[in-house]
Copies of this chain bind each other. A is one copy, B any other.
């Protein structure tokens, strides 16, 4: 009887709203005959993060939440921050997320770039003919590189060290291989496009070399390409479909390109993410962290936010932390139907950010009913 312990951290502003819809979808999935037959259960525990935690406990991330997170299979998280708590200073809600990712050692950040249903391709600023069929995953190394390098800060000179160890590159390259196989499915592994600026940066020459060696030794059958970071910035807009597969990035490149990818799909409301500390099914026990890529949108009126990215993140949780691909696929299908299936079921439910007028709860209900 598989029981999955999930820590749910709504966070601030729209965070709890969108997370509530994802919880609704998880509960509906659990009740589905195909699932209850297998006796799969989700044990959900709720706690505070970010500004809400500052208000109650005086700090944005309590040791109790860290402990609970470590004991869980997965953390489902909404968003934190808002004008009430400020953007600078020691007690920023934002630090809670980076600190929690660090505490869980989530070194792999996975951000899919895929139009969730053909009908919403028109929400993209990019032409439909260019964007349709786009289906790649930005895989970002999340615990190394210039984010965590030695820093020097003086009045007249500052620097950050952008460094990588070979083993850090190797483990993320192995994750890319895992994802390429999963993404390609029965048709064989998808290709991996590894991003660097090896014509200028020493750290990128090591990156390219380490990726190539682990590829040749361990997964030579997966097609591997190198792409310079500047030309990727161009290609992602010009021909995003040509990237279909896995786009493997270091920390800072991944930060940029996952946002560029979010622009391509048309709304941050369609950009889920997963943060993992190990390859799913591997030996170590790890906790995955799942969250929409958008922020807490303090200015948005209540019940107006698009919960799709959070529901997609919950589907990723079922896929990567619970090994329930069939359920994740079912949720992804339900999302597509809810957004798009006017003809067959009268459903074309969309929130304001994607040109509709539905509320957060209506959007969540539509996914549940499609499920």
Contact = CB atoms under 8 A, between A and B. Distances in A.
Interface of A: 94, 125-127, 130, 146-147, 149, 151-153, 155-167, 197, 199-203, 205-206, 229-231, 233-239, 252, 255-260, 262-264, 268
A166 B157 contact: yes
A160 B231 contact: no
Nearest to A147: B200
A159 B203 contact: yes
A193 B291 CA distance: 29
Contact of A264 (B157, B163, B199, B237): B237
Q: Which of A159, A166, A167, A205 has the most chain B CB within a 10 Å cutoff?
A: A159
B263 A237 contact: yes
Given A127-B126, A159-B162, A162-B159, A153 B206 contact: yes
A165 B157 contact: yes
Closest 7 CB pairs of A and B: A159-B163, A237-B263, A158-B206, A233-B260, A151-B202, A230-B259, A234-B263
Contact of A252 (B94, B149, B197, B199): B197
A229 B203 contact: no
B160 A166 contact: no
Contact of A158 (B157, B160, B203, B256): B203
Contacts of A201: 146, 151, 160
Given A161-B161, A202-B159, A233 B127 contact: no
Contacts of A206: 153, 157-158
A126 B238 CA distance: 8
Nearest to A267: B238
Contacts of A149: 159
A197 B255 contact: yes
A160 B203 contact: yes
B125 A238 contact: yes
26 contacts: A126-B127, A146-B201, A151-B201, A151-B202, A152-B202, A153-B206, A156-B166, A157-B165, A158-B203, A158-B205, A159-B162, A159-B202, A160-B161, A160-B163, A162-B162, A197-B252, A197-B255, A229-B255, A229-B256, A230-B255, A233-B256, A233-B257, A234-B263, A236-B260, A237-B263, A260-B260
A262 B125 CA distance: 16
B233 A263 contact: yes
